[in-house]
Amino acid sequence: MSISRLYKYCSANFFVVREMTGRKKPVPLEEKRKRLLNLISQSGEVYLLPELEKLGSERGIVAQSVKDVLSALVDDNLVESEKIAGSIYFWSFPGKKVADRRQALEEIKKKLGKLKDRHAKAERALKTAKENAEPDPRRDKLMAKLEEREAHQQNLVEELDDLRRSSSKIAEETEIEMQRGMDAANRWTDNVFQIRSWLVEKYQVDGVMLNKRFGIPEDFDYVD
């Protein structure tokens, strides 16, 4: 490679590297809003859009984006704007913000006062209605009966809950009692058969006649 070609190659790459390393990071939108708002409000001046584009670029805001940022500030009531003689002027005075906030606070206080008055009137009306209410024996009797029925219903609900909780235990105990009853019945049945057999053998009596004599049914048998 000749010296002239080497020089051209190094020069070209030098400017590419310089251009890449010299680029600045883009400014976030919120930072643009903050910078532009500080510029307008702290100066206390009135500006045209071209003036703000120039001043904004000096503070790291791309001139082409100043208009959009400014429109957002106007929409948020942070910057005032007015069209005068074909030109739009922008400004933001600290005193205006304070006045707006005071006005909003006064409106809230007025609404709160009205609500308090309405609440006080309602309280007085309720108190008057209670004081002037005439006694009604029929109503009192119905209310007492209603309370009695509600108490009875609550007792039934509690009893039902107790039965549900103990249902498994009751079923088990019932089954045991049934088995005990069957066992007792079969023992008595066995005793009857033994006595019947003894009488038939002892006195040589016909079994059928003996059953009729003592009222023993023909289908008398053990319980399964």
Q: Token pair of 168, please?
A: 């498994």
Rounded CA-CA distance 146/50 in Å is: 82
Query: Per-residue confidence of the chain (224 residues) as pLDDT tens digits?
Result: 444 454 444 444 443 344 444 556 778 889 989 898 888 888 878 899 999 999 988 888 888 889 999 999 898 888 888 888 888 899 887 666 556 655 665 676 677 777 777 777 777 766 776 666 666 777 777 778 878 888 888 888 887 777 767 666 666 766 776 777 777 778 888 888 788 788 888 778 787 887 887 778 877 787 77
**Domain 25-92 in CATH 1.10.10.10:** yes
Q: What single letter denotes the amino acid at residue 20? A: M
Q: Enumerate residues 6+ apart whose C-beta is below 8 A from 39.
A: 52, 55, 56, 59
Give me the count of residues in the chain: 224
Where does residue 63 rank: exposed (0-12), middle (13-18), buried (19+ CB within 10 A)? Answer: middle
**The pLDDT of residue 48:** 92
Domain ranges of the chain: 25-92, 97-131
**The pLDDT of residue 82:** 87
